[in-house]
Every structure is written in C-alpha cells, then in structure tokens.
C-alpha cells in the first residue's frame, strides 16, 4: 500500500439545491479527495485555511488516519464558495467566490511529503501545480485536474503540467475546450498527445470514460434516488480512484478500470448528502456492498 498526496483547496461552501440550503459547509477538493482516498490508503493533505475554519470538521479525517500536518492555518478568512444547482444536477451556477487566504497559497512540501509516491494535483493554478511537481521526488504516479479558467488563462503552464503527469481528469467541456475538438474521442486523443498516458473524462450523472492505448472504457454512474448536492462529486471520484490505485501499488489499465468503478461508487455516496455528509462515517464495508451491486449492474 502506497501513500497519496493531494494538493488543493480547503473551503467553506454555501450551496443551494432543490432540496435545501446549507451555509459554510467544510469542503474543497482537498477534503473531498482525502475523505474518499483514505478508505484505501494513507493520505497527506497540502492546503491552507484561515483562522475561522472549524477544526472540528477535520476530526473525521484524522480518525481515518489522514495526515493534515500540511494544512496550514494562517491569519485571515478561509476560501469561500457559493453555488446553486437546479433540477439538472449537471448544471451549476457560481454565485460568489472569495479566495481570501487561498489567494496567497504557495504549496511547500515537507521532506516526508516529497517522497509520496501517488500525487493528485487538484484544481489549482497550473503554476502552483508545476511548483509541486518540482518538489515531489519520490513520485510514482501523478494525476491532475483543471478547469476552464486555467485553460483560457494559463494554457502554457497547463500544457507543461500535462506533459509531466500520468493521468488527466477532466470533465467533458474542459476536454473539449483544451483540445479544440467537439467529438469526445478526438478530444481525448488530443489531450493524451500532450503527455498523459491516461485521460479520464467525467460526465456527471452519465458516468466517466477512460481513454488509453488499450482503447476507451466506459462506466455509467451508479443510480441514486435523490441527488441532494453534487458538490465535490468529481473530487470524490478522483479520491476513490487514486486511493484504490495506491492500495494496489502499481498503476495499469486493468487496475485503473477497477479503481474508477470504486471512484464512481464513492461519488454516489457523496451526492446523497450535503457537503461531506455522505462520506462522513462511511466504511469500506458500505463501499464494497454498493460496489457488488454496481458490478452486477454491468453484467450482461
């Protein structure tokens, strides 16, 4: 079993959905990813919060063995995000973003963190992602995420990141914008040509597709009765995927396909609650039970 490092945001989210409103819930890519990945492997988190962040929110992660020594607490207010979802959970509207202390975030890795073999560069400035790549010396497998803002504003830095990672995890619109192609197969091939051996395209409620030299692999989403809050589902999927890969120890197409299935199952738990509710208290036994149902769904 290998360790996993995630470098990303830790935030306070306010979310409006057809099923209610929640204010200033602990969130961010660092927390969603680590809540999922820690079910399989030891996780190290690098991020920053302000003095107003509720430390009680970190207790469930500490109990699961997540190493939060890389999460800095600095004077100021924590990164805040406000978003709204309609009846279609794939459509999200950002109402407010306050970077606060996250604006000056500069990831610095301690010597133990530098030797982490599995690394996830969450959706942050690609220049910061490059700074992390310069520091991780014992890396065995690196995956990255991004967003349209960085694709438009820092394409050169993002291209450099993609040339140095093993896997890119993008949604459909991001892979299209990055590649300039509308067809998802063509788009994924263009992104793969930038460097990553594996390209994973997240499709929301329609699942995810893996593109590699062995051909595409398609997974549907696990059906749930009610999507209360889609926030963090993509980072949860990434956490479940990399956590399982780290447990397996050696990335391969076969292992990655199974890892993505576990990531899909974790994402289904995530959307059944607000914020981290769906992942808090979740056990590996709960995940395995739903994984068996998911696997049976795919038999024909």
Domain enclosing residue 53, as ranges: 4-297
CA-based nearest residue to 235, from 271, 195, 199, 211:
271
CA-based nearest residue to 52, from 9, 82, 21, 10:
10
- In the structure, what pLDDT confidence band is assigned to residue 138 with cuts at 50, 70 and 90? confident
**Residue 206, domain CATH:** 3.40.1190.20
* Torsion, Cα of 222, 270, 87, 185 (10° steps): -50
- Distance, in Å, from the CA atom of 12 to the CA atom of 83, rounded to the nearest integer, reads 11
What's the number of domains the chain is made of?
A: 1
- Distance, in Å, from the CA atom of 300 to the CA atom of 290, rounded to the nearest integer, reads 18
- Per residue in 98-127, pLDDT (tens digit) is 999 999 999 999 999 999 999 999 999 999
pLDDT of residue 1: 66
8 A C-beta contact, residue 184 and residue 172: yes
- Distance, in Å, from the CA atom of 220 to the CA atom of 153, rounded to the nearest integer, reads 32
- Distance, in Å, from the CA atom of 269 to the CA atom of 293, rounded to the nearest integer, reads 13
- In this prediction, residues 95-99 reach a mean pLDDT of 96
- In this prediction, residues 248-273 reach a mean pLDDT of 96
| Radius of gyration of the CA atoms of the chain, in A | 18
- Per residue in 33-66, pLDDT (tens digit) is 999 999 999 999 999 999 999 999 999 999 999 9
- In this prediction, residues 174-190 reach a mean pLDDT of 93
- In this prediction, residues 199-206 reach a mean pLDDT of 92
- Per residue in 66-92, pLDDT (tens digit) is 999 999 999 999 999 999 999 888 889
pLDDT of residue 258: 97
């Amino acid at each position: 079993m290998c360790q996993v490092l995630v470098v990303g945001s830790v935030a306070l989210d306010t979310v409006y959905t057809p099923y209610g409103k929640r204010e200033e819930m602990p969130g961010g890519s660092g927390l969603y990813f680590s809540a999922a990945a820690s079910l399989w492997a030891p996780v190290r988190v690098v991020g920053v919060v302000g003095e107003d962040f509720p430390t009680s929110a970190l207790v469930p992660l500490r109990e699961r063995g997540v190493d939060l020594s890389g999460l800095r607490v600095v004077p100021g207010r924590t990164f805040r995000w406000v978003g709204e979802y309609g009846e279609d959970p794939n459509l999200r509207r950002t109402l407010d973003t306050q970077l606060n202390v996250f604006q000056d975030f500069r990831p610095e890795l301690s010597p133990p963190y530098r030797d982490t073999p599995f690394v996830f560069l969450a959706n942050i400035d690609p220049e910061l992602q490059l700074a992390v790549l310069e520091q991780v010396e014992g890396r065995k497998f690196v995956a990255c995420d991004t967003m349209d803002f960085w694709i438009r504003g820092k394409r050169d830095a993002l291209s450099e990141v993609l040339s140095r990672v093993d896997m890119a995890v993008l949604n459909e619109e991001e892979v299209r914008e990055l590649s300039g192609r509308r067809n998802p197969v063509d788009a994924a091939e263009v992104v793969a040509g930038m460097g990553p051996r594996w390209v994973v395209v997240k499709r929301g409620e329609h699942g995810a597709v893996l593109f590699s030299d062995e051909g595409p692999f398609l997974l549907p989403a696990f059906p749930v009765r009610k999507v209360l809050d889609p926030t963090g589902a993509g980072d949860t999927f990434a956490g479940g995927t990399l956590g399982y890969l780290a447990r397996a120890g050696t990335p391969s197409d076969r292992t990655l396909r199974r890892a993505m299935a576990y990531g899909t199952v974790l994402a289904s738990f995530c959307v059944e609650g607000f914020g981290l509710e769906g992942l808090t208290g979740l056990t590996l036994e709960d995940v395995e039970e739903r994984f068996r149902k998911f696997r049976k769904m795919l038999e024909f």
